[in-house]
Amino acid sequence: MKSVIVGTAGHIDHGKTSMVKALTGVDADRLEEEKRRGITIDIGFAHLELAAASGEKYRFGFVDVPGHEKFVRNMLAGIGGIDLVLLVIAADEGIMPQTREHFDICKLLSVKRGITVLTKSDMVDAETLEVVRMEIEEFVRGSFLDIKRSPIVAVSSLTGMGLERLKSELARAASSVVTKDSLAIARLPIDRAFSIKGFGAVVTGTLVSGVIAKEDELEVFPSGKKARVRGVQVHGQQVAQALAGERTALNLASIEMHDLARGMTLAPPGIFQVASQIDVSLSLLPSAKTLKDRAKVHFFAYTFECIAEVRLDARKHLEPNENRTAILRLSEAALLLPGDRFIIRQFSPVTTIGGGVVLDAAPLRKISRQTREEFLRTLQNANPTDILMARINRQSSQGLTLAQAVAETGWRGEIITQHLQSLKKETVVQAGDVFVSAAAVKNLKQAAVEIVGRYHDKNPLVPGMNKEALREALRIEPAVFGFVLDSLVHDKKIEVNGELARLPGRGVVMKDEESESQKIIAQAFATAGLKVPALKDVLVGLKVDKGRAQKLVTLMLRDKVLIKISEELVFHKSALDDLRKMLATEKAKSPKIDVARFKDLTGVSRKYAIPLLEYLDRERVTRREGDIRVIL
């Protein structure tokens, strides 16, 4: 059964609630104060099932909104997720101020379908009814309620006149309503939160996308609190799951009532991020005043509301009936996604002045105005594949992870992957779960070769550049770096040896004095045996400066020509090899050796004996047992 959400709109006391009751049998005024005062204060709900002439069945969820100007903010909380609107105009009063404001709101929210309902038709004569009808035809001309595409239905909630035709028109309009996407990620803006004794926390709202089922875990935005779905109701009936487009009530566990309120949104955990700054396409109504840069406005999206600051670009004002991109800085963070419609109202006096659509809820902080404007133009005019490509391109060398793409677009990962797989490898590459433009990869590869080349030039005595240092120089994430480096190795532009990267044919390049100095160092330690000199004394007499001399020692340590056994002592490899052989011979005589015997055997003082024995322990040539060593 197809679900369709119907919203009412219109001036106070024009019979919206009475019409809904006449259609559904449900009084949508649920508050005691509403019944006492006889006016709708907050949004109310009802439902109705109808069958079209074709036999197709529809489940209508009615969102009845208040008509009084003081309660427009409540009206906005209910109107955001509707599929079609019933614009209610009383025959005995005609078009009134809130008729105009509500109609403007519907147009700004891009409501595509609706029916104009002429209520209280039994209270006027036929001639007056026709005059009002003509007035309405002029009022809705050129809009989605133009009589060429949408009827004007005269009804009486008191006598029942016209109600059957209204039901028929509802079914006809519902047939062309585009079903909300149940395959998308679930989002439920909360319009009511209350507690029921014996059940606990309950929230209601229109499920704008996805599916929510019993036992699902959900995250509450913007707080980040988690809740478990204990039960699901759709139009008062217990169900296993709610689908996009249905009026939904959730009984929640593992959360306190004070953590739930109108304006919050439920969605699966760990996917989305809240936004306090958004890029939007903003329109002003013809009746609005010029909007200046940095103006404060009231912002409404679905059930959420806050104060926002409007930031305009080069031209510091927005004229009536004009549309432009803008930045909105929200006083409170909210879960918003591209495509979400919103309304802005003047800060004071509070009247509706415009609205628009969210283009990007994850704007980059450091980006040129030209780049941002080009990006936003793409978001407004491109297909999904081009939109994804634009999001990848704006991340440049950092790339866009699949999780980022999901959070920025609200599309499921598999949908994103399908779109990107249609692109050629010459356009985008995938490095792990990161998507990077092929152009960015090309630039990174060129930059990597240049960086390593410069490193060789500055460090001729070092065999290569540390890979992590290269990644940091490129300022890219590990997954992208790994892809770039593997590509360079495959293309034979870079060679990798352990943790070092070098250009092919490049390595240690020594000048004559450096080569001579290296030989002097090696000779000094080789001839010293185990009675080695202090390293600083050996380096003093070299022809190279201290910095290059230290690099020569580093090379010899890397190549294991020299071996450092402590902070103070460095030995030639040959001397330590001879020591191992000496101990192997001694083991045949006695497998145990103490410090005194070791000093006699090697001819070294305690200054050398203790560090050498500790080195042999680390190398598992000996094992210490108290004051003696066991030769292994």
pLDDT tens per residue, range 20-64: 999 999 877 665 654 555 556 677 888 899 987 777 889 998 988
Helix, strand or coil, per DSSP, at residue 481? helix
CA distance 540 to 558: 21
Q: Do 84 and 94 form a contact (C-beta atoms < 8 A)?
A: no
CA distance 499 to 497: 6
Q: Do 431 and 479 form a contact (C-beta atoms < 8 A)?
A: yes
In this prediction, the residues of the chain whose per-residue pLDDT falls under 70 are 29-41, 67-71, 461, 506-515, 541, 543-544
Query: What pLDDT does 38 receive?
Result: 59
What tokens does 523 get? 């000779």
Q: What is the DSSP letter of 499?
A: T
Domains of the chain: residue spans and CATH = 2-174 (3.40.50.300), 188-267 (2.40.30.10), 275-360 (2.40.30.10), 382-509 (1.10.10.10), 513-631 (1.10.10.10)
What tokens does 26 get? 């449900």
Express each pLDDT in 100-113 by its tens digit: 999 999 999 999 99
| 3-class SS string, 161-181 | CCHHHHHHHHHHHHCCCCCCC
Query: What pLDDT does 271 receive?
Result: 95
Q: Which helix (H) or strand (E) holds 446?
A: helix 438-458
Query: What pLDDT does 511 receive?
Result: 60
What does the chain come to in residues? 632
CA distance 513 to 459: 16
Express each pLDDT in 148-161 by its tens digit: 999 999 999 999 99
CB atoms within 10 A of CB 199: 12
* Residue in the block written with tokens 């070299």: 542
Q: What percent of the chain has pLDDT over 90?
A: 51
Q: What is the DSSP letter of 70?
A: G
Q: Give the residues across from 61 on adjacent strands.
A: 5, 47
CA distance 598 to 144: 100
Q: N- to C-terminal Cα distance for the chain?
A: 82
Characterise 90 by phi-psi region: left (phi > 0), alpha (psi -120 to 50), beta (else): beta
Q: Which helix (H) or strand (E) holds 456?
A: helix 438-458
CA distance 197 to 290: 51
Q: What are phi and psi of 253, to 5 degrees?
A: -115, 165
- Note the helical H segments in 235-383: 369-381
